[in-house]
């Protein structure tokens, strides 16, 4: 049996997935780790943990499948986006990687706006300067650690450090490179204008490649470390959201995908570069040649439901809660939930935004609150969808959906009614890692292109169609949209009040 291998270098674990020629997942294994927050707003990881976890996951997957290195014909990579790995001329890591969820760079975002101009930045890259992106991290290191910055010989994204350990080649994919905001969106390569304005030497950046392209082969040293065979091709792959879209079939023009995990993502594939002029959406190259995508992210989607369950109904199952909430009508008798528990990114890039229940009365019980949480998350995703259609994407008839929240029948129905589209639950088992494996399969010649791979390998399960509550939810969404502007001044007051973070309560995990 021959396999392709997908490797996903995420924030808390590296996953390896072996997929056979029929698109069947033969084995999955994971190597776990943690990230560090040494100071407020900081989030870092030692790149070595990714490599050790990748070795563990690769060896584990091959052991489970009973495969040898010679059985693996190609390797695809995906992983967390926006992180910054810095190497010196001896390929040594100079400092812990600064991760996507690090928030230390607000001054550097202002510096980027000053150097380039916000409108010009968005016109070139398709994106505004946000603290999570890579470019402000580069400026932060230069501003705060100048001696270390002087030693930098190469800048990589997290998964591309694992690529280097596998192949001894520096390379990245175009989808991941877009998340640095150093790329010309239309040209699909590093922007000379942006690099010049920020005074970043282009020689410090790796070459960019389309998702299915080979970027190197497994070295003898990597073969010894992982069990893979020397000379096995390693393809460019994609950033995690583009790879997840490949794995769920969102590859054709105008195909939408929705991911309902801890965060919520709405994603659409486009044949031309599109962007929101205000930078409220992310616009990156897709993992597919000559294709792009728009993406919006809400920070607490299924994460809102988990918080609610843990805080108000510990020990209760999700199915039990949603089953009871199904008896409550749309709108939860005037109760609305804002899902901004960890701030928000789209459509409000506001780290000070807070969650809220608005409209509580003595009539409301746990079932009403549950329904309001599910609806509030759906309204937040509707905000993203509306931005996409305003940016030129056609409203979808059907949305491919994945993630843990999609298992709820009630939530799927609410989403279908709020979004005004069929919700097609995909049966893809391993998300981004599966998408990386699909890109490797195209490189190996198993499929003619990525769309052919998606047609052959991605299957759709249950489809939920919009029901009788579409018009009612349209009105409720308008009410929901009025809450953020009304509460924004209060969010600012709370955010500047030291008592708002509590006293003596210790650490809290949101």
Write the CA distances from 172 to 21, 59, 397, integer angstroms.
26, 24, 34
Give the tokens for residue 399: 């949305």
Angle subtended at Cα 145 by Cα 140 and Cα 150, rounded to the nearest 5 degrees: 105
Contact between residue 33 and residue 104 where contact means Cβ atoms under 8 Å apart: no
Distance CA 365, CA 89 (A): 62
Contact between residue 172 and residue 84 where contact means Cβ atoms under 8 Å apart: no
Write the CA distances from 77 to 303, 332, 438, integer angstroms.
26, 43, 10
Q: Which residues contact 30 (CB under 8 A, 6 or more apart)?
A: 13, 14, 15, 16, 53, 56, 57, 60
Which one, of 262, 259, 261, 271, lies nearest residue 296 by Cα? 259
Which single residue is written with the structure tokens 């924004």? Answer: 488
Contact between residue 147 and residue 141 where contact means Cβ atoms under 8 Å apart: no
3-state secondary structure of 183: strand
Distance CA 330, CA 96 (A): 48
Task: Say whether 71 is catalytic.
Answer: no
Is the backbone peptide bond immediately before 320 cis, with ω within 30 degrees of 0?
no
Distance CA 484, CA 345 (A): 13
Contact between residue 2 and residue 20 where contact means Cβ atoms under 8 Å apart: yes
Distance CA 83, CA 436 (A): 19
Alpha-carbon torsion (373, 378, 382, 385), positive or negative: positive
Distance CA 77, CA 287 (A): 11
Write the CA distances from 376 to 323, 349, 478, integer angstroms.
17, 17, 12
Which residue among the candidates 8, 20, 102, 240 is catalytic per the annotation? 240
Question: What values do phi and psi take at 12, rounded to 5?
Answer: -120, -5
Distance CA 136, CA 278 (A): 19
Burial class (CB in 10 A: 0-12, 13-18, 19+), 241: buried
Give the tokens for residue 277: 């002029």
Other C-beta atoms closer than 10 Å to the C-beta of 130 total 20
Contact between residue 126 and residue 50 where contact means Cβ atoms under 8 Å apart: no
140 CA to centre of own chain: 23
3-state secondary structure of 30: strand
Positions marked active-site: 240
């Amino acid at each position: 049996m021959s396999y392709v291998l997908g490797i996903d270098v995420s924030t808390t674990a590296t996953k390896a997935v072996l997929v056979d020629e029929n698109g069947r997942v033969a084995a999955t294994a994971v190597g776990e780790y943690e990230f560090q927050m040494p100071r407020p707003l900081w989030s870092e990881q030692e790149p070595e943990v990714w490599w050790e976890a990748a070795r563990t996951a690769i060896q584990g997957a091959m052991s489970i499948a009973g495969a040898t290195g010679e059985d693996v014909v190609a390797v695809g990579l995906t992983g967390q986006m926006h992180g910054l790995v810095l190497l010196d001329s001896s390929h040594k890591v100079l400092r812990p990687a600064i991760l996507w969820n690090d928030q230390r760079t607000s001054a550097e975002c202002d510096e980027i706006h000053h150097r380039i101009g916000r409108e010009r930045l968005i016109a070139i890259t398709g994106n505004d300067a946000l603290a999570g992106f890579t470019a402000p991290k580069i400026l932060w290191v230069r501003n705060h650690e100048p001696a270390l910055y002087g030693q930098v010989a190469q800048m990589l994204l997290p998964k591309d450090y694992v690529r280097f350990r596998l192949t001894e080649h520096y390379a990245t994919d175009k989808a991941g490179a877009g998340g640095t905001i150093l790329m010309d969106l239309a040209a699909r390569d590093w922007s000379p204008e942006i690099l010049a304005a920020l005074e970043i030497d282009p020689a410090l950046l790796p070459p960019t490649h389309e998702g299915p392209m080979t970027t190197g082969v497994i070295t003898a040293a990597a073969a010894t470390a992982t069990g893979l065979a020397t000379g096995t091709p390693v393809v460019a792959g994609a950033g995690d959201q583009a790879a997840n879209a490949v794995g769920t079939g969102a590859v054709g023009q105008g195909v939408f995908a929705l991911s309902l995990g801890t965060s919520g993502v709405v994603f659409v594939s486009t044949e031309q570069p599109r962007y929101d002029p205000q930078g409220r959406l992310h616009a990156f190259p897709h993992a597919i040649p000559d294709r792009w995508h728009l993406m919006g992210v809400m920070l607490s989607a299924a994460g809102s439901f988990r918080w609610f369950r843990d805080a108000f109904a510990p020990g209760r199952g999700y199915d039990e809660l949603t089953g009871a909430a199904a008896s409550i009508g749309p709108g939860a008798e005037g109760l609305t939930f804002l899902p901004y528990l960890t701030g928000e990114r789209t459509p409000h890039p506001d780290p000070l935004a807070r969650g809220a229940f608005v409209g509580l009365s003595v009539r409301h019980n746990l079932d009403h609150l549950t329904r309001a949480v599910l609806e509030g998350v759906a309204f937040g995703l509707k905000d993203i969808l509306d931005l996409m259609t305003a940016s030129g994407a056609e409203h979808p008839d059907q949305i491919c959906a994945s993630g843990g929240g999609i298992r709820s029948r009630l939530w799927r129905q609410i989403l279908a009614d709020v979004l005004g589209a069929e919700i097609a639950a995909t049966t893809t088992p391993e998300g981004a890692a599966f998408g990386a494996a699909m890109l490797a399969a195209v490189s190996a010649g198993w499929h003619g292109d990525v769309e052919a791979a998606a047609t052959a390998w991605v299957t759709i399960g249950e489809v939920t169609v919009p029901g009788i509550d579409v018009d009612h939810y349209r009105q409720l969404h308008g009410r929901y949209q009025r809450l953020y502007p009304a509460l924004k001044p209060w969010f600012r007051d709370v955010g500047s009040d030291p008592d708002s973070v509590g006293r003596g309560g210790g650490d809290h995990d949101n």
